[in-house]
Amino acid sequence: MFAVFIDVDTGDADMEAALENLQQNVIPRVREAGARAGYWLDSAGGSRRVSMMVFDSEDEARAQAATIPVGETPPGAPEGLTIRTVEVSEVVASF
């Protein structure tokens, strides 16, 4: 398995709009791309958020990672939300 790890800066973005976009657009798109699991984590009041999506193959993970615009606001996301980094890593253990 391979994971796509994303670091996001929400800055002054409208978080209600961001969560709506996540539920209505991002999660369905990631499922269609073949993700086995996905996790979107809050930072308890800060502006940093992280997410991790798990795929069966490295090719699937890299294909999904290639659609994520580093340094930009993703399509459908509110202004102020910026993707900081995107990494693909092999999952070496899970339970």
- Domain boundaries, given as residue ranges, for the chain: 2-90
The overall pTM is greater than 0.75: yes
**The pLDDT value given to residue 46:** 81
d(CA 53, CA 70): 16
Over residues 14-28, the pLDDT tens digits come to 999 999 999 999 999
d(CA 6, CA 91): 15
Fold annotation for 2-90: Alpha-Beta Plaits (3.30.70)
Place of tokens 């790890």: 5
Banded model confidence at residue 43, pLDDT cuts 50, 70, 90: confident
Q: How far is CA 44 from CA 29, 33, 73, 93, in A?
A: 26, 29, 21, 27
The fraction of the chain above a pLDDT of 90, given in percent, is 93
Mean pLDDT score, 69-75:
95
